[in-house]
């Protein structure tokens, strides 16, 4: 990528008030932020709401951003903080966190049976994810849905490498146990 258009350069220009630079950043990252929030929250509506809030906060804090090549971690840290806050609020009011109808599994060239099965698997796993402790879910989602390495997850979540390894290990074991209970493993 041209360095004039990398994330740090766009953030510097966003801080100067250049709309086009900010728009390009949003365009570049909106899918990642939505996918992360959707997996964290289990609700497309909430994901879009918090994605909007994430980008608003990015804009408002553009002047404080340090261009050290860590934009994605910084952005997902903001999104993660917002998601955990929303999840805490849900628990207080007893909100049920997962709505399988929110997740649209489109035909990606596979036959209808495969699409149906993929949709059911996706719903199952997202339902099980919704029952994980927040930190475990966040680490696992960053790793498997965002493709982040443990080192970057540690930076994003403000923890250590062994901490990330432990979170993901426990998350995977909990998911396996949850899915095994209902005999829903393939």
Partner 1 sequence: MKHVTGHLAAYLGGELDQPTRALVDTHLAECAACRAELASFDQVWAMLDVAAAAPVSAGPGLWSGVRSRTVAVDPARVPWFFGRGPWTRRGWAAVAVAAGVFVALVLPGGTGPDGTGPTVLASSDSAGWLSSTWLDDTSNPGLAEQWMLAGLDSDGSAP
Rounded Cα gap, residues 25 and 54, in angstroms: 12
User: Least distance to partner 1 from the beta carbon of 119, Å?
Assistant: 8
Q: Which of 8, 15, 34, 70 binds partner 1 (CB under 8 A)?
A: 34
The answer to whether 100 and 92 have CB atoms below 8 angstroms apart is no
> Do 38 and 47 touch, CB atoms closer than 8 A?
yes
The token pair at 48 is 């879009």
Shortest spacing between CB 92 and partner 1, in angstroms: 26
Give the number of residues in contact with partner 1, rule: CB under 8 A.
Answer: 63
* Helical ranges in the chain per DSSP H: 7-15, 19-41, 44-60, 71-93, 112-130, 134-144, 150-157, 161-181
- Tell me if 22 contacts partner 1 by CB under 8 A: yes
Options 31, 91, 131, 181; binder of partner 1; rule CB under 8 A: 31
Taking the CA atoms of residue 168, residue 174, residue 177 and residue 179 in that order, the dihedral angle to the nearest 10 degrees is -80
Angle at 14 between CA 11 and CA 15, to 5 degrees: 90
Nearer to partner 1, 65 or 150 (CB): 150
Q: Binding of partner 1 at residue 82 (CB under 8 A)? A: no
Residue closer to partner 1 by CB (options 29, 87) is 29
Question: Judged by CB under 8 A, which stretch of 26-34, 64-72, 81-89, 91-99 contacts partner 1?
Answer: 26-34
Contact string (CB under 8 A) for partner 1, positions 109-148, x = contact: ---------xx-xx-xxx--x----------x--xxx---
Comparing C-alpha atoms, which of 119, 145, 115 is closest to residue 41? 145
Token code pair at residue 78: 């903001």
Residue 109 CB partners (closer than 8 Å, separation 6+) = none
Tokens of 110: 């596979």
Which positions touch partner 1 (CB under 8 A)? 1-2, 4-5, 9, 13, 17-24, 26-27, 30-31, 34-35, 38-39, 44, 47-48, 51-52, 55-56, 59-60, 103-106, 108, 118-119, 121-122, 124-126, 129, 140, 143-145, 149-150, 165-166, 168-169, 171-173, 175-176, 179-180, 185-186
């Amino acid at each position: 990528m041209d360095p004039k258009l990398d994330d740090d350069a766009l953030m510097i220009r966003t801080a100067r008030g250049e709309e086009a630079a900010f728009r390009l950043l949003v365009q570049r990252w909106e899918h990642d932020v939505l996918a992360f929030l959707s997996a964290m929250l289990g609700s497309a509506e909430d994901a879009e709401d918090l994605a909007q809030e994430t980008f608003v906060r990015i804009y408002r804090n553009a002047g404080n951003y340090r261009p050290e090549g860590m934009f994605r971690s910084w952005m997902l840290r903001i999104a993660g903080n917002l998601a955990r806050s929303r999840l805490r609020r849900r628990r207080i009011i007893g909100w049920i966190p997962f709505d399988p109808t929110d997740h649209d599994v489109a035909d990606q060239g596979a036959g209808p049976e495969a699409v149906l099965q993929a949709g059911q698997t996706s719903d199952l796993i997202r339902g099980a994810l919704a029952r994980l402790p927040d930190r475990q879910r966040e680490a696992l989602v960053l790793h498997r849905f965002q493709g982040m390495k443990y080192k970057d997850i540690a930076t994003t979540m403000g923890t250590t490498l062994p901490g990330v390894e432990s979170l993901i290990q426990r998350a995977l074991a909990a998911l396996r146990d949850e899915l095994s209970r209902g005999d829903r493993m393939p």
